[in-house]
Amino acid sequence: MDPENSTGLVLLNMGGPDSLDSIEPFLYNLFSDRDLIHLPLGAMLQRPFARLISHFRARRVRENYRIIGGSSPLLKWTNLQARAIATEMGPAFRPYVAMRYWHPDARETLRRMAADGVERAVVLSMYPHFTGATTGSSLNDFRRAVASVHPSLKYSVIEHWYDWPGYLDALARRVREGLAKFPAEMHDRVQILFSAHALPQKFIDRGDPYLEHVLSTVKGTMQRVGERNWHLGFQSRSGPVRWMEPDTVEVLDRLATDGVEAVLMVPISFVSDHIETLHEIDIEYLDHARKQGIRHFHRMPSLNDHPDFIGAMAALVTDHLDRNK
């Protein structure tokens, strides 16, 4: 492969701890990010705050990571996605991954790209829905890294793809696969519960498009699945701030009160398995749902590196490049 004729394909993602020992430094990096957590008293207090909260949070989440294998699988899935999309695109594309809060970070990745002689790239956020807390933060970090590590790189960015038809098609197929897990006699009574990662409400109040994007994805998916009851909740809320509502657990409780016995969880702000799917949904929510009387509780399969999802992402990159010629 001639580097001068190569285009880098850079997938941006959150990252996750690759061992139990890396949980605390990973959390420190996350809580130090002022795009994600903006302390009103200024940057001077951000690092002490991050050090304190990461220390105590690590104690609580260490067991969760131990249960799912001792590390996050997010890097594995993002690497697989990057390689598969690049393969689908053709030999002129070279895959790279840049994680926001763990390795390889943007600077590591850009140093590798510079060493490889890659001078142009497409940067693809692996968050379908835009918010300044995730995609915005990752892009800010990537741009800073380009300026300091590889300033000659010419690149374009795909910031969101919440309504990309191929993505919605893949989601609808996974929903149907999830529905197939229920007993035939329950099939028509299954309630679909979409769950997205929560944001502090202040992000939405200041004009962040995340909620609008999430709702568009839900409606586009259900148009493909067909007429069914569906609900939307927001998970992974923590800390003493006002969060987006309703909480996913509150929706589960309401469904149980209404006598619902079958729920399919559809996590839509996550395209890969990680702690929020493998532990929060598969273990915590499953246990909670059963205690509330929801006898049949399943999660749809994640998109991960499924061929239809990879094909949709390759088509998205191709469309982006065609529009930016």
| 188 noted as active-site residue | no
| 11 noted as active-site residue | no
Catalytic residue, chosen from 276, 285, 299, 300, is 276
Q: CB–CB of 8/117 below 8 Å?
A: no
Per DSSP, the residues of 159-182 read ---TT-HHHHHHHHHHHHHHHTTS
Catalytic residue, chosen from 100, 231, 274, 299, is 100
Catalytic residue, chosen from 11, 12, 14, 303, is 14
Separation between Cα atoms, residue 276 and residue 145, nearest integer Å? 28
| 273 noted as active-site residue | yes
Q: CB–CB of 265/303 below 8 Å?
A: no
Catalytic residue, chosen from 24, 280, 282, 305, is 280
Separation between Cα atoms, residue 123 and residue 196, nearest integer Å? 23
| 100 noted as active-site residue | yes
Q: CB–CB of 249/289 below 8 Å?
A: no
| 38 noted as active-site residue | no
Catalytic residue, chosen from 9, 11, 27, 30, is 30
| 276 noted as active-site residue | yes
| 197 noted as active-site residue | yes
| 211 noted as active-site residue | no
Separation between Cα atoms, residue 127 and residue 159, nearest integer Å? 8
Catalytic residue, chosen from 96, 101, 155, 210, is 101
Catalytic residue, chosen from 33, 273, 282, 305, is 273
Sign of CA dihedral 120, 121, 122, 124: negative
| 286 noted as active-site residue | no
Separation between Cα atoms, residue 284 and residue 195, nearest integer Å? 14
Residues 6+ apart with CB under 8 A from 30: 36, 50, 54, 101
Q: CB–CB of 95/83 below 8 Å?
A: yes
> Which residues are the active-site residues?
14, 30, 36, 100-101, 197, 273, 276, 280
